[in-house]
Chains A and B, each alone.
Chain A
Amino acid sequence: MGNLEKNIALNAENRADFELIAKWISPNAKVLDLGCGDGALLTKLRKTHNVRAYGVEKDDANWLKAMNNGIDVIQMDLESGLSGFEAQSFDVVILSQTLQAVLNTEAIVKEMLRVGREVIVTFPNFGYWRYRFQLALAGHMPVSDTLPYQWYDTPNVHLCTIQDFDEFCRKSDIVIQERLVLNDKEAVHFMPNIMGALAMYRLRAK
Chain B
Amino acid sequence: MSENSYVGIVAPQIAHFNEPLTLKSGQVLPQFNLIYETYGELNADKSNAVMICHALSGHHHVAGKHHEDDKNPGWWDNLIGPGKPLDTNKFFVIGLNNLGGCHGSSGPLSTNPDTDRPWGATFPIVTVEDWVNSQARLADFLGIKQLAAVLGGSLGGMQALQWAIAYPERMRHALVIASAPNLTAQNIAFNEVARQAIITDPEFYEGDYFNHGVLPRRGLRIARMLGHITYLSDDAMGAKFGRKLRDGIIKYGFDVEFEMESYLRYQGDKFAGEFDANTYLRMTRALDYFDPAFEYGGDLSLALAKVTADFLVVSFTSDWRFSPARSREIVKALLDNELSVSYAEVTAAHGHDAFLMPDAHYHNIMRAYFAKTEV
A binds B: yes
Interface extent on B, as a size class?
A: 20 to 34
CB-defined contacts of A63 to chain B, threshold 8 Å: 344
Rounded to whole angstroms, the CA-CA distance of A54 and B341 in the bound complex is 9
B350-375 with Cβ < 8 A to chain A: 361, 364-365, 368-369, 371-372
Question: B372 is contacted by which of A54, A70, A75 (Cβ under 8 Å)?
Answer: A70
Give chain B residues whose Cβ lies under 8 Å from the Cβ of A134. Answer: none
Known A-B contacts A64-B364, A64-B368, A68-B368; the reply to A84 vs B331 at CB < 8 A is yes
- Residues 104-138 of A at the B interface (beta carbon under 8 Å): none
Query: Of B328, B331, B361, which one neighbours A60 at CB under 8 angstroms?
Result: B361
Measured CB to CB, the residues of A under 8 A from B are 30, 52, 54, 60, 63-64, 67-68, 70-76, 84-86, 89
Contacting pair A75 B344 (CB below 8 A): yes
Chain A residues with CB under 8 A of B345: 75-76
| B336, B345, B347 interface centre (most CB from chain A within 10 Å) | B345
B368 x A84 contact (CB < 8 A) = no
A86 touches which of B328, B335, B344 (Cβ 8 Å)? B335
The 18 sampled A-B contact pairs (Cβ below 8 Å) are A60-B347, A64-B364, A67-B368, A68-B368, A68-B371, A68-B372, A71-B342, A72-B341, A73-B342, A74-B335, A74-B341, A76-B328, A76-B345, A84-B332, A84-B335, A85-B335, A86-B332, A89-B335
- Nearest-neighbour CB distance to chain A for B362, whole angstroms, equals 10
| Beyond A30-B338, A64-B364, A84-B331, 14 additional pairs, beta carbon < 8 A | A52-B338, A60-B347, A60-B361, A67-B342, A68-B368, A68-B372, A70-B372, A72-B340, A73-B342, A74-B331, A74-B341, A74-B343, A75-B345, A76-B343
Give B332's nearest chain A residue, CB to CB.
Answer: A84
A76 to B344, CA, bound (A): 8
Q: In the complex where A60-B347, A72-B342, A74-B342 touch, is A89 in contact with B364 (Cβ < 8 A)?
A: no
Which 10 pairs across A and B sit closest by C-beta, in order of nearness? A74-B343, A67-B368, A75-B345, A75-B344, A84-B332, A73-B342, A72-B340, A68-B368, A72-B342, A60-B361
